[in-house]
Amino acid sequence: MTSKTTLTISSKNYSSWSLRGWLLARFAGLEFEEIMVAPDSADMRKELLLLSPSILVPCLNHDGVKVWDTLAIAEYLNEIKPKAGLLPAQRAARAHCRAICGEMHSGFTSLRGALPMNLKRTFPGHKVWARALDDIERITTIWHECFAQYGGPFLFGKKRTMADAMYAPVVTRFKTYDVKLDAACAAYCKRILALPEMIEWIDEAHKEVEDIDELDMEF
Ligand SMILES: N[C@@H](CCC(=O)N[C@@H](CS)C(=O)NCC(=O)O)C(=O)O
């Protein structure tokens, strides 16, 4: 008997890694049940440890296999759903896709710290800290190189890949903090926000009642 497939996630409003893992599972066409945890409470953390060895979300449970950490989940989903196209078909493009996913996974700490994901709020005219501006510049360069090489409308051409899932929370941050973008990047953001999966996730984020005061202050 195979155990049921679950994805452990936390707040849909605040948890950018949850969004990435959830989008990856949806893009892969995986059927799964969501387990929602609130990692901020001590009791929940104990419960989360049973579900995710790193005490971090997301964590996928599939066929008796526990996979935590978003990059590992992305690669695992690509293995079990090879036809979903989470990675591009060409080897060079696959390497490029993995490289920019890795860059997102291990970098952009200034952007992540200064502009936390918060789907329920907008901060018009928000003044972005200089180091976060460097991250934004690097991200838009990455996007432009992808558009030039693969022709859009997604980062690796006509089909969305794991890279679009990895950068989706950046798209939402650009909207939340009113980051000014050139036309091509703005069009990409619009396209990602119009994905049915994004509409569904954002809709559910808006219904969440719990707020984290530190992340909701006026900057
Ligand atoms: N490297 C991890 C990062 C995951 C992560 O930082 N998750 C945050 C939520 S966005 C978390 O679970 N935090 C729990 C906590 O801080 O208690 C991954 O790729 O999955």
Closest atom of ligand 1 relative to the 57 alpha carbon: 12
Instruction: For ligand 1, say whether the CB of 215 is within 6 Å of any of its atoms.
Output: no
**Domain containing 78 — which CATH number?**
3.40.30.10
Say what angle helices 91-106 and 130-150 make with each other, to 10 degrees. Answer: 170
Instruction: For ligand 1, say whether the CB of 17 is within 6 Å of any of its atoms.
Output: yes
Tokens of 82: 């090879």
- Asked if pLDDT for residue 1 goes beyond 70, the answer is no
Instruction: For ligand 1, say whether the CB of 8 is within 6 Å of any of its atoms.
Output: no
Tokens of 187: 């069009």
Q: Name the domain count of the chain.
A: 2
User: Beta-carbon neighbour count of residue 183 at 10 Å?
Assistant: 7
Domain match, 96 and 76 both = no
CB 24 within 8 A of CB 86: yes
Domain match, 107 and 162 both = yes
Euclidean distance between CA atoms 49 and 44, whole angstroms? 9
- Range scoring the smallest mean pLDDT among 39-43, 113-117, 177-181: 39-43
- Asked if pLDDT for residue 213 goes beyond 80, the answer is no
Taking alpha carbons only, the member of 208, 216, 174 closest to residue 193 is 174
- 63, 84, 105 — which closes off a domain? 84
The verdict on residue 1 lying in a domain is: no
Taking alpha carbons only, the member of 144, 140, 156 closest to residue 93 is 156
The verdict on residue 176 lying in a domain is: yes
Residue 43, pLDDT score: 74
Instruction: For ligand 1, say whether the CB of 37 is within 6 Å of any of its atoms.
Output: no
**Domain containing 104 — which CATH number?**
1.20.1050.10
Average pLDDT over residues 142-156: 98
Average pLDDT over residues 174-201: 98
Residue 218, pLDDT score: 56
Provide the domain limits for residue 78: 6-84
